[in-house]
Amino acid sequence: MLVTSKEMLERAKVGGYALVAPDYYDNNSCRAFVEVAEELNQPLILSFASEVHDDMLSLEEAALIGRYYAETAKVDIALHLDHGTKFETIKKAIAYGFTSVMIDASSCDFEENVRRTKEVVDYAHARGVVVEAEIGHVGSGERYSTDQDDSIYTEVEAAKKFVELTGVDSLAISIGTAHGHYKGTPVINFERLNEIRNALDIPLVLHGGSSSGDENLRRCATEGISKINVFTDFVTAAFESVKKGNPKDWFELLKMSDEGIKDVLRHYFKVFNCIE
Ligand code: 13P
């Protein structure tokens, strides 16, 4: 069933687990994610990063596919726009039926981030859609532990003020993860997570889940993060599964890719403390 992410996030926050938010990029990945959620009887935040993956799938195509699988699913599925930086993209996603959107103005200064987030919150809330924003900046794994590192850790007071000024529903914070593969080893600042969690009432989100280490992610999920975004690990597993399986034809290749994706999602449902 297609739902908003509001209640499922609140339940995760109280329950001490993190929802899995996988990014789909085509019909097969979308279907694979929903099939695993149904198999494990778990809610899912089915995400699409339109501005990153529109060479694979347009926002309109993604909405039609995502809504179809969400609406026909036996479990709760929120359809989420990931990393919307343009108001235009966000308005379109809402018009096409996404039930949750991210406004990512984390590269802007504090005032501009507040202004752009508030604009989206007002627009989305008037249409029954929930909003995630980011404060601090989760940078790129390729630059991690180098002098080019573009991550900015979230400050507790800034996060508090940001939430008060914007009325956002959930907040992505930067505590040591990064997008994509890491240069070096990810180090998570659990103390900062604890401080932010104690200072804020709304659910917290972690981006850059891939290759962050199961132990780190488990701790994040049980110590205050209510949603973890994962992308790179799925495409890596799909490719590895095909390479290892040596498919005899195209259809076998597609099946192997689906199985690679599904195994990663099953794994993360366990790591994020959603299931035993
Ligand atoms: P990874 O590709 O590092 O898993 O990051 C995904 C993400 O945060 C999408 O918003």
Is the pLDDT assigned to residue 153 strictly greater than 90?
yes
Predicted TM-score of the model (pTM): 0.97
CATH number of 2-271: 3.20.20.70
Question: For the segment 170-210, what is each residue's pLDDT rounded down to a tens digit?
Answer: 999 999 999 999 998 899 999 999 999 999 999 999 999 99
Percentage of residues in the chain having pLDDT higher than 90: 97
Q: Which of 207, 228, 233, 236 to mutate to test the pocket of ligand 1 (most atoms within 8 A of CB)?
A: 207
**CB within 8 Å of 101: residues ≥ 6 apart:** 80, 81, 84, 90, 93, 94, 120, 124, 129, 130, 131, 132
Report the separation in Å between the CA atom of 254 and the middle of ligand 1, taken as the mean of its atom positions. Answer: 23
pLDDT of residue 184: 87
pLDDT at 68 over 90: yes
* pLDDT tens digits, one per residue of 95-126: 999 999 999 999 999 999 999 999 999 999 99
Q: Is the CB of 22 under 6 A from ligand 1?
A: no
Helix (H), strand (E) counts: the chain: 11, 9
Q: Which helix (H) or strand (E) holds 101?
A: strand 100-103
Res 145: pLDDT:
87
Catalytic residue ranges: 82
Residues 6 or more apart in contact with residue 179 via CB below 8 angstroms: 138, 139, 140, 141, 207, 208, 210, 231, 232
Nearest to 104 by CA among 80, 77, 79, 78: 80
Q: Percent of the chain at pLDDT above 70?
A: 100
Instruction: List the structure tokens of 153.
Output: 């850790």
Residue 236 in contact with ligand 1 by CB distance below 6 A: no
Is 209's C-beta closer than 6 angstroms to any atom of ligand 1? yes
Residue-wise pLDDT for 205-248, tens only, equals: 999 999 999 999 999 999 999 999 999 999 999 999 999 999 99
**What's the pLDDT band for 87 if we cut at 50, 70, 90?**
very high
Angle separating helix axes 190-199 and 156-166, nearest 10 degrees: 40
Average per-residue pLDDT for the chain: 97
Q: For residue 208, report the distance from its CA to the centre of ligand 1, in Å.
A: 4
Q: Which residue among 174, 179, 271, 272 has the greatest number of ligand 1 atoms within 8 angstroms of its CB, and so is best to mutate? A: 179
Give the pLDDT of residue 259. Answer: 98
The atom number, within ligand 1, closest to the CA of 230 reads 4
pLDDT band at 147, cuts 50/70/90? confident
pLDDT value at position 102? 98
179 within ligand 1 shell (Cβ under 6 A): yes
pLDDT at 89: 98
In short, whether 134's Cβ falls inside 6 Å of ligand 1 is: no
Distance CA 131, CA 81 (A): 9
Q: Name the residue with the closest Cα to ligand 1, atom 5.
A: 208
Confidence of residue 55 (pLDDT cuts 50, 70, 90): very high
Nearest to 2 by CA among 70, 57, 56: 70
The alpha carbon of 248 and the centre of ligand 1 are apart by a number of angstroms equal to 32
Distance in Å, CA 37 to ligand 1 centroid: 19
Evaluate: CB of 176 within 6 angstroms of ligand 1: no
- Report the run of H or E that residue 29 belongs to, with start and end: helix 27-39
Report the distance separating Cα 178 and Cα 216, nearest Å.
13
